[in-house]
């Protein structure tokens, strides 16, 4: 009997040893200023004095919700101007398994600056019961784009929807821009969300989450907006929006507060999570990146996470917002030439936050910095824009990862697309960010373990020199050389 027990123990020990010695398959992809575009490269041989990055899968952080971009009327309208083949190409690039495989997206509830005109789903004034509510304005462009993306996406994607304003007649200034929600329309605005969720559900488009309003501080009085203080928004969610969605069967739809720049996070999460009753209805906080062209605001992100660690922290908007995008000029996206709104318009004491910057560096650095500071989702702004950075009724030109020229039926896939794909393609929903050691101060690194057991390590080298790296994990060492001004994803599977 003792011999049999020892035999079983020996077999078990050998099996465990074999499992710990399993061989991992390594795929390495690079995007670089030298011309790589998510190009598969071969792992190198060990080099003396390599930078040793040690993974620690036992150290676990936030669960990842996803990565992606926004469905806007501007993007959808442009896709409708392209040939069928190019329209399909763009959507495959974003949602196909061989493309970026976006998993988390955003869309607008009625019009925004990246719409062709002002519109609302409730155009009849004082229609408190919203008997005239209609999403008909979305049916020509926006809805078809989302539906086609759904058909392409094998694993599906989440949609986070945001209004830029309530219908103007609900506001104290009866205007599209600025103004506050009148107290007598609190219930009606909550109903507005419920009606929207119902109409989109009928169309076969489930909405995963909503933000209460885009940019509650306003946008300088330029395009659709509505103002809230932290207390006003929290009161609205606690007393009206949360209970209404719960009552109408949408209690599973996630409500996100804030939805603006990171520097103000403390004031907002302090109010949102002021009590158990208010916290109940907030699934998390939405943030934007426009406070600075280089600063991550890590302290603010960490504060928001620690305030309520069970809640989401999702980046919902980012774009190159100070220049008309460069057409078929990859080098520009790797050069310190871009500006943002703050380069010209920031207060004198804040101008230091808005120097010229390298577009790819800003995207790669921000996504890595966000992930390493507890952010669980990162959403780009428009998926598609034209050569002018529009169409946009306000002429508020911006960049996008894919640019098109409807007149010549051309598509330009910018380096920003490949930058996004380094994350969205390899770090999948429900992945868990894991720990690592990185001794090099120039390299920026993040890592995550996917639900299928695979591991993605993203390494960004903004320096002017190539660097030799050795990534160690379990019984394996992976050697690679990352080019100067380059982004690499090392994907480990077994």
Which helix (H) or strand (E) element contains residue 366? helix 359-371
Three-class HEC string of 81-140: HCCHHHHHHHHHHHHCCCCCCCCEEEEEECCCCCCCCCCCCCCCCCCCCCCCCCCHHHCC
Edge-to-edge order in the sheet of strand 384-386: 384-386, 402-405, 410-413
Residue ranges with strand state E in 297-401 = 312-317, 377-382, 384-386
Using CA atoms of 313, 319, 321, 326 in order, give the dihedral in degrees to the nearest 10: 170
Helices (H), 290-358: 298-307, 330-333, 341-345
- The per-residue DSSP string of 415-482 comes to HHHHHHHHHHTTS-TT-EEEEEE---SS-EEEEEE-TTS-EEEEEEE-SSS-EEEEEEETTEEEEEEE
Is 88 among the catalytic positions? no
Do 219 and 259 touch, CB atoms closer than 8 A? no
Which among 73, 137, 215, 300 is annotated as catalytic?
215
Considering only CA atoms, which of 112, 21, 27 is closest in space to residue 70? 112
Which helix (H) or strand (E) element contains residue 413? strand 410-413
Is 336 among the catalytic positions? no
Residue 399: CA atoms inside 13 Å, Cβ hemisphere, count?
28
Q: Which positions are annotated as active-site residues?
A: 215, 317
């Amino acid at each position: 009997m003792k011999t049999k027990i020892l035999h079983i123990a020996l077999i078990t020990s050998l099996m465990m040893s074999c499992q710990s010695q399993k061989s991992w398959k390594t795929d390495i992809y690079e995007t670089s200023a030298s011309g790589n575009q998510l190009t598969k490269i071969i792992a190198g041989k060990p080099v003396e004095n390599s930078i040793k990055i040690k993974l620690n899968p036992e150290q676990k952080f936030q669960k990842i919700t996803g990565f992606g971009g926004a469905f806007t009327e501007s993007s959808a309208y442009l896709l409708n101007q392209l040939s069928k083949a190019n329209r399909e190409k763009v959507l495959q690039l974003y949602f196909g398994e061989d493309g970026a495989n976006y998993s988390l997206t955003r869309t607008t509830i009625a019009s925004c600056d990246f719409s062709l005109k002002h519109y609302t789903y409730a155009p009849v004034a004082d229609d408190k019961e919203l008997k005239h509510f209609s999403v008909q304005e979305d049916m020509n462009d926006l809805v078809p784009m989302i539906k086609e993306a759904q058909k392409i996406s094998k694993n599906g994607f989440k949609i986070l929807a945001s209004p830029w304003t309530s219908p103007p007649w609900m506001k104290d200034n009866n205007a599209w821009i600025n103004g506050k929600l009148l107290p007598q329309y609190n219930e009606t605005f909550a109903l507005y969300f419920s009606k929207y969720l119902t109409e989109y559900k009928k169309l076969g488009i489930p909405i995963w989450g909503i933000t209460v309003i885009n940019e509650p501080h306003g946008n300088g009085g330029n395009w659709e907006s509505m103002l809230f203080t932290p207390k006003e928004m929290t009161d609205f969610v606690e007393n009206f929006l949360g209970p209404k969605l719960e009552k109408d069967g949408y209690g599973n739809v996630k409500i996100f507060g804030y939805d603006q720049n990171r520097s103000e996070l403390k004031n907002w999460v302090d109010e949102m999570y002021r009590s158990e009753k208010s916290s109940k209805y907030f699934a998390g906080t939405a943030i934007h990146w426009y406070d600075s062209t280089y600063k991550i605001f890590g302290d603010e992100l960490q504060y928001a996470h620690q305030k309520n660690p069970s809640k989401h922290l999702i980046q919902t908007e980012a774009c190159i917002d100070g220049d008309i995008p460069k057409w078929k000029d990859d080098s520009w996206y790797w050069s310190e030439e871009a500006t943002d709104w703050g380069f010209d318009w920031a207060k004198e004491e804040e101008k230091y936050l808005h120097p010229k910057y390298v577009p790819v560096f800003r995207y790669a650095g921000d996504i890595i910095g966000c992930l390493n500071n507890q952010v669980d989702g990162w959403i780009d702004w428009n998926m598609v824009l034209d050569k002018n950075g529009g169409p946009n009724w306000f002429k508020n030109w911006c960049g996008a990862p894919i640019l098109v020229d409807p007149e010549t039926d051309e598509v330009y896939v910018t380096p920003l697309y490949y930058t996004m794909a380094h994350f969205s393609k390899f770090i999948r929903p429900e992945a868990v960010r894991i720990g690592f050691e990185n001794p090099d101060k120039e390299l920026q690194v993040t890592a995550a373990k996917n639900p299928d057991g695979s591991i993605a390590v993203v390494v960004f080298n903004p320096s002017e020199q190539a660097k030799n790296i050795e990534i160690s994990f379990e019984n394996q060492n992976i050697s690679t050389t990352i080019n100067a001004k380059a982004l690499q994803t090392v994907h480990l599977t077994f």
